[in-house]
Amino acid sequence: MVTSAHEGMHRIFEERPEILAPVFGALGIAFPEKAAAYAVTSDVTETRPLVRHVDTVLRIEPSDGDEFLLAVEAQERRDPDKSASWAYYIAYLQSKYRLPVLLLVVCRDRATARWAAGPFECGARGWTVQRTHPLVVGPDNLPTVTDRRTAAEKPAMTAFSALAHANSPAGDAILDALGHALRGMEQSAAQYFSQFLDTALGTTPAGAKWRNIVSFVNYFPGRGTLLERTYLEGEAKGEAKGVLRVLKVRGVDVPDDVRERITTCTDPVRVSGWLDRAETVERAEDLFTDTPEAPESV
């Protein structure tokens, strides 16, 4: 079954190809310093009605001209059918593009990673006609990025590390490091990594940990970002309900214009002040006594 984690483990190579060099480095394989990476179709279906898809396929074009294809597969558990599928993917892609093909399998489970390393052989009568030997990254060979400086310099690799180590003891420390790195990150990048991990980690304990990090820290104070506005408006709405509830319990009448002013205010600090006054005022209009009339802001 395709899950959010499955999608995240391979799609990040397409969306953030800068992780290719450190991942290959973890495997002890040289990756060209200067190379362009392009996503190509992952559909390897033949004309007959049998649908096959590689998770992600990248065309790597190094500056030295030695191009190759990188097929990335996210694997959550052992699957006896994969040895045949992977051999097919490699043969098909090599035939279609006339380029060498490497297969990279990403695993979050150590047992699955050991199995995925193969090699998987096809042959008979003591003769091997084809051998599939995938590259595999998982908890045993993928670095844990827990240093805040490294997380700030390499956020894509840190996010990938957090996903790969989501079930490991170091998972929380990686998320903490990336959460801290978001503070100084360019807005669009911070939102990408925040949303990427929110989706990829799903309802797992690691996902709850990540949502706790991004929910209670305002990474963009005073910048009026969507994340900031949404958080502050939610706080203000909660306080506004409290104001109206206190007035109702005390039997204080609330005119429509006052109710509208309370419920439409998006400044939680201002509404909090009204909540304090709601316990003593005789008229609802008195909530606004000494309240600055400056335009509301977040």
- Mean pLDDT value of segment 161-171: 88
Whether 124 and 57 share a structural domain: yes
Residues β-bridged to residue 56: 72
pLDDT interval class at 78 (50, 70, 90): very high
In a domain, 142, yes or no: no
Whether 172 and 107 share a structural domain: no
Whether 19 and 117 share a structural domain: yes
Whether 9 and 86 share a structural domain: yes
Give the total number of structural domains in the chain: 3
Q: 38-52, 137-151, 210-224: lowest mean pLDDT where?
A: 38-52
Asked if the model's pLDDT at residue 218 lies above 70, the reply is no
pLDDT interval class at 203 (50, 70, 90): confident
Instruction: Please write the tens of the pLDDT for every residue from 237-252.
Output: 778 888 898 898 888 9
Whether 38 and 125 share a structural domain: yes
In a domain, 295, yes or no: no
Q: Of the residues 215, 243, 262, which one is the last residue of a structural domain?
A: 215
Domain span at residue 82? 4-137
Closest CA to 89 of 102, 79, 77, 74: 102
Whether 15 and 115 share a structural domain: yes
pLDDT interval class at 158 (50, 70, 90): very high
Show the tokens assigned to 80: 């006896």
pLDDT value of position 296: 45
Regarding pTM above 0.95, the answer is no
In a domain, 298, yes or no: no
Share of the chain above pLDDT 90, in %: 27
pLDDT interval class at 105 (50, 70, 90): very high
CATH number of the domain bearing residue 30: 3.40.1350
Cα 123 from Cα 7, distance rounded (Å): 33
Kindly list the distances between the CA atom of residue 178 and the CA atoms of 158, 162, 272, 289, in Å, as whole numbers in the listed order: 7, 9, 32, 44
Whether 106 and 11 share a structural domain: yes
Residue pair 219/180 in contact (Cβ under 8 Å)? The answer is no
Instruction: For residue 233, count other CB atoms closer than 10 A to its CB.
Output: 15
Instruction: Please report how many Cα atoms fall inside a 13 Å half-sphere around the Cα of residue 193, on the Cβ side.
Output: 31
Whether 153 and 87 share a structural domain: no
In a domain, 293, yes or no: no
